[in-house]
Amino acid sequence: MQHKGRNHRMKQTFAILFIGLIFCTPLLSVAAEEQGAPVGLEELIAEAIGRNPELKASEEHVAAFEEKPSQAEALDNPRLGLAVLNLPTDTYRFDQEPMTQKQISLKQRFPFPGKLSLKGDIARKDLAIVKHKNEETKNSLIMQVKFAYWNLLFLDKAIEVTEKNRALLREFVRIAETRYAVGMGIQQDVLKAQVELSTRTDRLIDLRQKRRSMEANLNTLLSRPPHLPVRSGKDIDAVKQTGFTHIVEDLQTMAMENSPSLRGVKSLVERYDLTHALAKKGYYPDFDIGISYGLREETATADWPNFISASITMTIPLWSRSKESRKVAEEKANSRRATERFVSAKNSLLFTITDRMAEIERYTQKIELFRTGLIPQSRASLESALAGYKVNKVDFKTLIDNETTLYMKEIAYYQARAEYEKTLAGLEAVVGKRLF
């Protein structure tokens, strides 16, 4: 009778496990109880754009360069001069000689026509490069926030799945201990179950540490204290998978038009074309135009009139073969280098888009395979093993192996979900505009 009672209790335990396997599936699980204020992805992105210090520094860099074109196109400050001319050294008197005078002068340099406008155009290209860099920084920030958000969603789900899995293993340990106590099992089964339980506990420790690290990373992007709790407020199962309908040719066209990194290199090419044109202007002279006024002292015998003088001087490119010509060659080389950089950047951009598209297709297929094939199959296999173990047709090792397989497939499924969304975020950053 005692033996029958134990068998009855074990049957009840197996029934409970069956029900747990059916109703506690990760694909249909309810979101874990939230702690703290949940924050959505768009809220996090908006906060990052408003608070991130690196982005703010980039914006101030743009503000600084916005002041440069006006400076570049402005003339140099005029030069005011004071002089004493023809002062006799025997008496140092201003009224002794008629040519002695006190002079005040004003001079202004005028670059050869076209030079200042080219300098202004170069400054505007520098501003465009900095603006593109700022846009690239912003896109990168959005991508990093999305990466951190989806990593948190995955880690939260992985922790939840691991905790449920650990609870199931505890039940397996209890079953193995019960069977061993009544002489229906072996001690090796108990030890095997305990080892697997400890392994899940170790995995849970790692997952929680990774979550804290990812939480600190997200807080850093938002310029928050690193220890501040971050709650996504959503279960990854409750988040609809982002649809993707773009084709590679359309994305490549969009990237050619919008990619800030590519546009920045294009602006660099245009900048060096302008510096090359400016270097060729170096063969032409700059002019200094001056005017001066000389004051002469009255003498006892005469009242000398004052002097007014004007002058114009110009630069002569006398050493052009070793200076101006070399400068022209330098800027021409810079222009060719920038052009090759543009071609390289374009090729890299097109490759990256093609590569991201392949990754998206791979993750799409993996997600579907996990959802409709591997996980249901692994769950059915575990249920079958559990039923077989109940009637001594399956050994405990097979039961544990099936449980481990299901656990690993569930974790891999949620990781594929997160990697899919992260790949979309990376593609968005490469294209240079919000797509999703």
pLDDT digits (tens, 9 = 90+) for 18-51: 444 444 444 433 333 334 455 789 999 999 999 9
Same domain, 270 and 416: yes
Residue with tokens 């360069």, as numbered in its chain = 65
Distance, in Å, from the CA atom of 267 to the CA atom of 190, rounded to the nearest integer, reads 69
Say yes or no to pLDDT of 138 above 80: yes
Render pLDDT for 69-92 as a digit per residue (tens, 0 to 9): 999 999 999 999 999 999 999 888
Residue 390's pLDDT is: 78
Say yes or no to pLDDT of 132 above 80: yes
**Closest residue by Cα to residue 293 from 82, 88, 109, 113:** 82
**Closest residue by Cα to residue 342 from 262, 273, 260:** 262
Render pLDDT for 271-293 as a digit per residue (tens, 0 to 9): 999 999 999 999 999 999 999 99
Residue 19's pLDDT is: 44
Q: Note whether 310 and 291 are within 8 A (CB).
A: yes
Domain stops at, among 274, 299, 316: 316
- Residue 209 φ/ψ, nearest 5 degrees: -65, -45
Q: Note whether 236 and 225 are within 8 A (CB).
A: no
Q: Write the single-letter amino acid at 61.
A: H
Is residue 375 one of the residues assigned to a domain? yes
CATH of the domain at 224: 1.20.1600.10
- Residue 364 φ/ψ, nearest 5 degrees: -60, -45
Is residue 6 one of the residues assigned to a domain? no
Same domain, 140 and 86: no
Instruction: Tell me, rounded to whole angstroms, the distance of Cα 242 from its chain centroid.
Output: 21
* Mean per-residue pLDDT, 214-240: 89
Residue 24's pLDDT is: 45
Distance, in Å, from the CA atom of 157 to the CA atom of 138, rounded to the nearest integer, reads 29
Q: Write the single-letter amino acid at 136.
A: E
Instruction: Tell me the C-alpha to C-alpha distance, in Å, between residue 184 and each of 144, 187, 258.
Output: 55, 10, 70
Is residue 255 one of the residues assigned to a domain? yes
What does pLDDT average to over the chain? 89
Render pLDDT for 199-225 as a digit per residue (tens, 0 to 9): 999 999 999 999 999 999 999 999 999
Same domain, 129 and 214: yes
**Closest residue by Cα to residue 159 from 203, 127, 193, 199:** 203
Render pLDDT for 156-203 as a digit per residue (tens, 0 to 9): 999 999 999 999 888 888 888 887 787 776 788 788 888 989 999 999
Distance, in Å, from the CA atom of 299 to the CA atom of 214, rounded to the nearest integer, reads 90
Helices (H) and strands (E) in the chain, counts: 11, 4
**Closest residue by Cα to residue 221 from 148, 152, 112:** 148
Say yes or no to pLDDT of 8 above 80: no
Is residue 425 one of the residues assigned to a domain? yes
Residue 12's pLDDT is: 53
- Looking at the chain, the whole-number percentage of residues with pLDDT higher than 70 is 91
- Looking at the chain, the whole-number percentage of residues with pLDDT higher than 90 is 71
Say yes or no to pLDDT of 228 above 60: yes
DSSP, res 417 = H
**Residue-range definition of the domain harbouring residue 18:** 13-75+111-282+317-431
Say yes or no to pLDDT of 397 above 90: no
Helix (H, G, I), strand (E, B) or coil at 141: helix
Same domain, 19 and 50: yes
* Mean per-residue pLDDT, 149-158: 96
Same domain, 368 and 390: yes
Same domain, 339 and 359: yes
> Assign residue 415 a region: left if phi > 0, alpha if psi is -120 to 50, beta otherwise?
alpha
Q: Which residues pair with 314 in a beta bridge?
A: 287
**How many residues are present in the chain?**
436
Number of domains in the chain: 2
Is residue 3 one of the residues assigned to a domain? no
Higher-confidence residue: 257 or 16? 257
Higher-confidence residue: 95 or 381? 381
Instruction: Enter the pTM of the model.
Output: 0.85
Same domain, 30 and 103: no
Is residue 25 one of the residues assigned to a domain? yes
Domain stops at, among 316, 337, 359: 316
Residues ≥6 apart with Cβ < 8 Å to 238: 31
Same domain, 198 and 308: no
Confidence band of 394 (pLDDT split at 50, 70, 90): confident
Instruction: Tell me, rounded to whole angstroms, the distance of Cα 200 from its chain centroid.
Output: 34
Q: Note whether 130 and 307 are within 8 A (CB).
A: no
CA atoms within 13 A on the CB side of 285: 9
Say yes or no to pLDDT of 316 above 80: yes
Distance, in Å, from the CA atom of 408 to the CA atom of 401, rounded to the nearest integer, reads 11
- Residue 86 φ/ψ, nearest 5 degrees: 55, 45
- Angle subtended by helix axes 115-181 and 187-221, to nearest 10: 160
Is residue 8 one of the residues assigned to a domain? no
Same domain, 65 and 85: no
Same domain, 90 and 192: no
Same domain, 84 and 227: no
Q: What is the DSSP secondary-structure string of 200-268?
A: HHHHHHHHHHHHHHHHHHHHHHTT--TT---B--S-GGGSPPPP----HHHHHHHHHHH-HHHHHHHHH
Is residue 5 one of the residues assigned to a domain? no
Same domain, 157 and 297: no
Say yes or no to pLDDT of 304 above 90: no
